[in-house]
Structure 1
Amino acid sequence: MMLIQFFRNKCIGCNYCVEVAPERWQMSKRDGKCVLVGGKKKGNMYQIKVGEHERYVNEQAANVCPVNVIRLD
């Protein structure tokens, strides 16, 4: 299992994560920021545990994020 953590309050809505991993990331029409699909709010972040089969695309999403708001554990 892998934990994805997303600090949405610092997201600038660049859409890069959506382009590389659209099954886990979407753009919000409400405020133009990204949404971690299935993520649950915990403090100032959203998080979700996913299987290892999602590691590669989410590593790409984290790597292309210009403000480094996606963390993987």
Structure 2
Amino acid sequence: MPKIIHYRDKCIGCGICFEMQPELWRMSRKDGKAVLLGAEEKRETDVLVVNNLLIKETKVVAAACPVKIIKTLG
């Protein structure tokens, strides 16, 4: 299954992921960083298993991330 990996600790809070894919991302009111909805936290990273359609959309979001902290597998 395809996965989205988000290195949240390196997030700068620019919000581009939320703007491009609001069904998967929120901006935290607590620290201003992006939150990958429904993700499981594993060793300071967030991992979310998704379908093939979402992984294609997320690859575009990952390419737009200015600090390149969103990765896609699959």
> Shorter chain as normaliser: what TM range?
over 0.9
Q: Does the 8 Å contact 2:13/2:32 carry over to 1?
A: yes
Note the aligned Cα RMSD (angstroms): 0.8
Runs of at least 5 residues in structure 2 that lack an aligned partner in the other structure: none
User: Any stretches of 5+ residues in structure 1 without a counterpart?
Assistant: none
Normalised by the size of structure 1, how large is the TM-score? 0.95
Partner in structure 2 of residue 35 of structure 1: 35
Post-superposition CA distance 1:4-61 (Å, at most 9, x none): 1000000000000001110001100110000000011100201010011202321121
How many angstroms apart in 2 are the aligned matches of 1:16 and 1:65? 7
Counterpart residue type for residue 68 of structure 2: N
Contact 2:16–2:65 under 8 Å retained in 1:
yes
Percent of aligned pairs with the same amino acid: 38
TM-score using structure 2 length: 0.93
Q: Secondary structure at the match of 1:26?
A: strand
How many residues align? The count is: 73
Q: Superposition pairs for residues 1-73 of structure 1, below 5 Å?
A: 1-73=1-73
User: Match of 1:31, SS?
Assistant: coil
Q: Say which SS state the counterpart of residue 67 (structure 2) adopts.
A: coil
Q: Distance in 1 between matches of 2:60 and 2:18?
A: 10
